[in-house]
Chain A
Amino acid sequence: MRTHYEKRATKRKLKAFQEYKLSNFAASASIVLAILFGLSGYDLFERTVSIPFLVLAGIYLLFGMLQLLVSAKIRSDIIQRNTIQATTRIFGFSLIIALLTGNIFVAIAALDIIKKEKSIEYMLSIYMALTNICIILISALNLFKPYVADLFLLGMGILLAVSVLHIAAMILIGLFVKNGDVSRHLLPLAYLLILTAVTGNVFSLLLGLTLLHKIRHGNKEVLVTWVDIVRRLFRNAMAALGLLFITVLLSLSICSYFTFEYSLAVENNYSTLLLSPSLEYPFGTDDFGRCVFSRIIFGGRISLLVGILTTLIPVIIGGLLGTVSGFYGKYVDNFIMRALDILYAVPGMLLAIAIVAAFGANTTNLIIALSIGYIPTYARTMRATVLSVSNFEFIEAARACGAKDHAIIFKHIIPNSLAPIIVKATLTIGIAVISTSSLSYLGLGVEPHIPEWGNILKIGSAYLESKSYLAVYPGIAIIVMVLSFNFFGDGLRDALDPKLK
């Protein structure tokens, strides 16, 4: 009985330290990745060995083991002294090198352990700097190519400068943000960070806005919902990682205008047909000699755009229909919901196929086709929320004050019923991405010459037997993107509604 009690007490103690959780997570993630790399390096069925993968597996395993050691050290520190010792924290500095091998899990855990007092600003700055470094590392792979984009040097120069700024910001924030108080001197930095958000870096935008907000309000304890939500979101490592992947993808689709050569992804090159992966062509080349890696990078742009648009359009239309239906009730409600029931009875995929069949396969039609299918779901979600919100006293009060219907709807009801639909939308972007690539795979989506993940996979599937990597890598890209949206959506749901957890 006593041992059971002690076990639980230790568990509770350990749970209070985010560093321990994160460190464990990083260790297991690196080891799992090491195993995956090892499996790709040594083919069980054909008994072939691929050296680069085995080396990668070895490096990941090494860092995983080191991280495991750090975990053990943190554990003993916590159990004996109830704090993490400074000597343990110094370990963090040596583990930052893991970033160079692309192991962001260990890097995040390392940056997390370095600092004792972690403000939300510090966390944001870590992710901000990481995003930019990832972009630079991915873009740097272009150096092995026969030729680079015209704007490559300019793009890389800007990225490096931004990166220096981000790291400086990280150090400055580490020094000047104490107990959540932001020094007034950081005002120019905040503006600069917001400016760097043009590279698609969501974290720098969030960080800049948070700093600005705190300085404006003189660090007073003002109840700011969104800063609070961001803080809760970053407590969940998986959600933060999901957002990191999404941001990297977003940033990459913007930066690739400068750093990636579009002709390598679309123009036929008969001297490089179906090459195996190498440093020059990291994911090999396809049957027209196009670089699959560049195609995946450019494809992310389309997938992200289509995914976000096919979520945004039905959210707006369905949300408005649901609001009207829930607010007015009776005949309006009956009419709208019955009409949407019809739409709901046809599976989204089949409806999209029918619409594309009628109007032809291209990107615009694809977006419209997918959007229509999602309208009923959002309308139902919104209607349910609006029904419950309309019964609150503040709506009655607004009406008693003589507010017009449209004012009540747009000022009071919609802002108060947005949370569920936002969460739903985040979780559905992933499904929209899958649907887009599925339709492209069937030849019903994006035009075949445009590099889109479904299109790349379609070509890869023809060479499944001999060049399976042509189909495997674009698939992994889709999975990682969808998984990131799912993790982020889950985290957002927990952050928006703590009661749900």
Chain B
Amino acid sequence: MAYINTGRIVQEKLKTTDAMGVRYRIGRTYEKMLKNQLYKILLFISGLPINLVVAAVFFIQKRSDPFLKWREETKFRLRKEGVENQLTADIRYELTTKYIFFNKEVNESKLHAETKKLAARVFQEEVTKKVDDAMRAAGISKVTYGSTFSKLINHPLFFAVSMIPGALMYLFIYIYSKPYLKYVFDRLVMMVFVIFGVTFLVFTILYLSPLDPAANILGQTATVEQLRHFNQVYGLDQPYLVQLWNSFKGLVTFDLGKSFAGNEMVSTEIIRKLPITLQLTVISLIIAILMAIPSGLISATRQYSFFDYGFMVLVLLGLSIPDFWQGLVAILYFSIKVQWLPATFNPDNWLSVINPAIVLGTGLAASVARMTRSSTLEVIHQDYIVTAKAKGLSERKVILKHALGNALIPIVTVIGLQFGGMLGGAAVTEKVFNINGIGSYIVDKQFIPDIPGILAGVIYVAVTISIVNLIVDLLYAFLDPRIRSKISDY
């Protein structure tokens, strides 16, 4: 009976503390977030009305802050005890010995000024420390902006009223309080920043271009009137900032205008061409990984064997072959001499994708295989693997079950990093095999230069890479317990 009673009481208590706990936690998180400059601004803007109220209360309360009174008292007391004079004398002595040690001549007025400055700072620190200690002992907290907010939020009424105008701010606070969410959110913000940065960078480069697309497209015979009309239609006569703003707008609304040559919508072109490149890259990624990881593992388990040496030479060869030459030789042998595979790409014929996919994936396969070998080697010499072997596990089980998992982490990183290079390198492979992807689109557009086309092409490739990097980052944050624990710590 008594047991049930206490149980109910505890439950009820929990309920009340739950609501209070939420508010308390919000206050705590808010104070923590204020320490970061960026979050400070974010909080202030997202919850502007609430922050104005809090600021008003803060300035009223600050005047009656006990801290100020205590500080004056402590200052007065320490001065009376002669602490300040003692400090000045000590610092003067220290400075003099320092100058003598470095064989510098002692300048009286300079020494005096320096001593005064240092002593004032040290005295201030001393006072603050004393006051803080005293206040902590007395259980009184200093009035800060954060503590004002915490106090206010603990009023249920204030909390309820602030719910609507501060919804956005509370959302940020919620995200910040959950480590995983915060990590994801941080990465997303970073990604958006990078995407806008890339747009700014590429646009600025193209804006600075001394080449004149109007003259290139309309030809030498174009009149001044025609050129002006062209520039007006495509907005090239507008100032830099307006054009940049239009590019940003185009990036968000996915409408980057029409290309100079052919007058096609750039977005529809991108939608048509990006999937072709992506498909090619993903196929070659899969082929590369399927070849590289097993061979890297075998090479690591038989270190310094004939296979290992041959394999390492092969890997270095793979890293050294230019894509376009490999493509040409592949066409020469497989398409011209034996005619097994078609020389140019055709979406309807799956055989035609094999050649470009292998050519594009060679570099990636080589670096992944190399990474697999070295990270596996590192892992299999660790103590826990020795333990596993000593317990009598078979070689196969040790490698596949215990070593591979840990060895995979750097491999995933390398794959993520190389994916970007692959998308960039796709331009060359696409040109060799005559594939209508985004890479060859950018290359075709550059001769004019067709600014909207190049801009859109480069930006959306960068966006794709950013998304892939985000996925890779999240993936191994959730796969690797070490990174997981690091995330929850910060």
Contacts and interface: CB of A to CB of B under 8 A. Distances in A.
Interface of A: 45-46, 338-339, 341-343, 345-351, 353-360, 402, 430, 434, 437-438, 441-442, 444, 457, 460-461, 464-465, 468, 471-472, 475, 478-479, 482-483, 486-487, 490
B411 to A, nearest CB: 18
A479 B425 CA distance: 17
Given A358-B449, A483-B317, A472 B206 contact: no
Contacts of A348: 421, 424
B322 A437 contact: yes
A42 to B, nearest CB: 14
A358 B209 contact: yes
21 contacts: A341-B197, A345-B198, A347-B420, A347-B461, A349-B421, A349-B424, A350-B442, A350-B458, A351-B458, A353-B427, A354-B202, A354-B454, A354-B458, A357-B449, A358-B205, A358-B208, A438-B428, A444-B443, A465-B332, A465-B336, A478-B325
Nearest to A482: B320
Contacts of B331: 464
B337 interface: yes
B446 A471 contact: no
A419 B198 CA distance: 31
Contact of B325 (A45, A360, A430, A457): A457
B324 interface: yes
Contacts of B337: 45-46
A366 B130 CA distance: 64
B201 interface: yes
Contacts, number: 154
Given A350-B424, A358-B449, A360-B210, 8 more contacts: A342-B200, A345-B465, A349-B424, A359-B209, A464-B331, A464-B336, A483-B317, A483-B320
Nearest to B306: A28
A406 B313 CA distance: 44
Contacts of A353: 427, 442-443, 446, 454
B201 A346 contact: yes
A471 B325 contact: yes
Report whether over half of chain A's contact residues are helix, strand or loop; otherwise say mixed. helix
B322 A486 contact: no
B194 interface: yes
B102 interface: yes
Interface string B300-336: 0000000000000000110111111100110110001
B323 A438 contact: yes
Nearest to A358: B209
A478 B317 CA distance: 11
A402 to B, nearest CB: 6
Given A45-B338, A356-B446, A479-B325, A347 B205 contact: no
A308 B328 CA distance: 26
A346 B458 contact: yes
Nearest to B446: A357
Contacts of B319: 430, 482, 486
A357 B446 CA distance: 5
Interface in B425-446: 425, 427-428, 431, 439, 442-443, 445-446
A347 B208 contact: no
B321 A479 contact: yes
B198 A346 contact: yes
B158 interface: no
Contacts of A461: 324, 328
Interface string B180-211: 00000000001001110110111001101111
A461 B328 CA distance: 7
A343 B205 CA distance: 12
A343 B322 contact: no
A360 B211 contact: yes
Nearest 6 CB-CB pairings of A with B: A347-B424, A342-B197, A357-B446, A358-B209, A475-B325, A349-B424
Contacts of B462: 345-347, 350
Interface string B159-197: 000000000000000000000000000000010011101
A434 B429 CA distance: 13
B329 A350 contact: no
Contacts of B200: 342
Contacts of A486: 316, 319-320
Contacts of A457: 324-325, 328
B259 interface: no
Contacts of A45: 337-338
Nearest to B374: A500
A256 to B, nearest CB: 23
Given A345-B194, A353-B442, A475 B320 contact: no
Contacts of B321: 479, 482
B353 interface: no
Nearest to A479: B320
A360 B213 CA distance: 12
B211 to A, nearest CB: 6
Given A358-B449, A402-B102, A342 B320 contact: no
B57 to A, nearest CB: 31
Given A430-B319, A479-B320, A486-B319, A355 B427 contact: no
A237 to B, nearest CB: 12
B280 interface: no
B160 to A, nearest CB: 38
B372 interface: no
B421 A358 contact: no
B423 interface: yes
Nearest to B200: A342
A343 B420 CA distance: 12
Contacts of A346: 198, 201-202, 424, 458, 461-462
Contacts of A347: 420-421, 423-425, 461-462, 465
Residue with the greatest number of chain B CB neighbours at <10 A, chosen from A45, A350, A351, A437: A350
B244 to A, nearest CB: 15
Nearest to A437: B322
